[in-house]
Structure 1
Amino acid sequence: MNTAFIGLDYIVDIMHPDGKIARSAAHAAQRDVISKANRALAIAEAKGWLRVLVKVGFDPHYLDQPKQSPMFGRADRFGALKLGEHGTEFHPELKVSGNHLVIVKPRISAFYATGLDAALRANRIERLVVAGVSSSWAVQATARDAHDRDYQVCITEDACAAVDDTEHQTSMKLMSAIAQIITVSEMESL
């Protein structure tokens, strides 16, 4: 089955201790999410899967920022999620190579106002293996969107993090109704 690995929001502002809105940084560090994401990317590469890294970000003048959003509405005040700045770079320990598709999204879901679906369809992808930060926002939104677009969805729960373990586990429990919850090690047998 044609498969893609999608890593969500492994960026400085969201999951690095120096990030401007890094509510999930401690949980990600505790769960060793970056090394697990690197392992997932290596497995995906060995299997010949399309590898997609997605990051949220806004125009340097915040012209596309949803000012009314409770989540993104104050990003400009903090100077967060500004494309071209350090905060929207991938985590320094994430092993990003030139043969990853990089998607920039302006909202929570990786599908909203991006070319992700077109790229997946161009590669005849049927199954998505999704991971990222945060479990309760980007991962859930992308998994739900993927499900509704008729992709088979797997979530690598150990390469995900949230604000804390309770929020993460609740998210995984909810997603189990529409996605297969797996570990990075279990990617080997897909």
Structure 2
Amino acid sequence: MELDPAKTAVLVVHMMRDIVTREGAFGQIFAEGVERQQVVPQVGRLLSTARAGGATPVYLRVVFKPGYPDLVANCPLLGMAAQMGALEDGKPGAEIVPELTPQDGEPVIDHQRLTGFFGTQLDVLLRARGITTVVACGVATNIAVEGTAREAVNLGYRTVIASDACSTASDQAHQATLETFQLLGEVASVEEISAALQAPSPQ
């Protein structure tokens, strides 16, 4: 695998307290997989390599205004957010987990649908920075990670899912998503991606 860090962004998908921690509103669904797959440290490792190599970290949050005037509850997961008082901007549950706090200047894209490109400035931001490759990681593999990755493919980006820096409610669903996405983009481990980001640029 070869990657040009200057043209690569790491999309950190929904690494929020309400989604990935046991005490979070969606913790009963996703936290066990996050812990078993060690997603937080794996995403942290990928971010460290990205920053050192000159790639661009971009964080995605699914977050709603207080009172949820911007929530369209047309699917069960989104409906659950309002029912549980989750993912509300300004509350602790909507924050990125402290282990992965964005550094100064790193963009955080907020959205209200299932994926990161829909209804946001993510595509504009990436193109303005000369990004042509995106690496997706986070939660959940078969929902927002896959959905955002598919959107990236449709928009013309070279798209990679970091296989061991994401998880979902079941290992079976996780693996099925990775197998499907191999037909659409690329699937690689954190080790493989990190090695590519650290490799000297070809002369």
Identity %: 32
Question: Does the Cα contact within 8 Å between 1:159 and 1:184 map onto a contact in 2?
Answer: yes
CA distance in 1, matches of 2:113, 2:78: 8
Question: Alpha carbons of 1:21 and 1:138: their partners in 2 closer, same or farther (altered >3 Å)?
Answer: same
Aligned pairs (5 A) from 1:73-84: 73-84=79-90
CA distance in 2, matches of 1:108, 1:157: 20
CA distance in 1, matches of 2:79, 2:30: 19
**What secondary structure, in the 3-state scheme, does the structure 1 residue paired with 2:41 have?**
helix
- More off after superposition, 25-34 vs 88-97: 88-97
CA distance in 1, matches of 2:129, 2:63: 25
Shift of 1:176: 0.9
Aligned pairs (5 A) from 1:24-39: 24-39=30-45
Structure 1 residue aligned with 2:55? 49
Q: Deviations over 1:127-147 (max 9, x none)?
A: 001111000001110010000
CA distance in 1, matches of 2:31, 2:86: 15
Shift of 1:5: 0.7
The CA RMSD over aligned residues, in Å, is: 1.1
Structure 1 residue aligned with 2:188? 182
Structure 1 residue aligned with 2:200? none
CA distance in 2, matches of 1:20, 1:43: 31
Q: Which structure dedicates a bigger proportion of its chain to helix?
A: 2
Structure 1 residue aligned with 2:97? 91
Letter of the structure 2 residue corresponding to residue 118 of structure 1:
V
Residue 19 of structure 1: which of 15, 21, 24 is its match?
A: 24
Letter of the structure 1 residue corresponding to residue 10 of structure 2:
F
Structure 2 residue aligned with 1:72? 78
CA distance in 1, matches of 2:115, 2:33: 21
1:103 aligns with 2:109: yes
Question: Does the Cα contact within 8 Å between 1:38 and 1:95 map onto a contact in 2?
Answer: no
**What secondary structure, in the 3-state scheme, does the structure 2 residue paired with 1:37 have?**
helix
**What secondary structure, in the 3-state scheme, does the structure 1 residue paired with 2:120 have?**
coil
Letter of the structure 1 residue corresponding to residue 15 of structure 2:
Y
**What secondary structure, in the 3-state scheme, does the structure 2 residue paired with 1:108 have?**
coil
Shift of 1:68: 2.7
Letter of the structure 1 residue corresponding to residue 117 of structure 2:
F
Q: List runs of 5+ in structure 2 lacking aligned partners.
A: 198-203
Structure 1 residue aligned with 2:167? 161
> TM-score, with normalisation over the residues of structure 1?
0.96
Q: Which runs of 4 or more aligned residues in structure 1 lie more than 4 Å from their structure 2 counterparts after TM superposition?
A: none
CA distance in 2, matches of 1:67, 1:152: 32
Structure 1 residue aligned with 2:8? 3
CA distance in 2, matches of 1:99, 1:33: 23
| Alignment coverage as a number of residue pairs | 190
CA distance in 1, matches of 2:74, 2:166: 27
Q: List runs of 5+ in structure 1 lacking aligned partners.
A: none
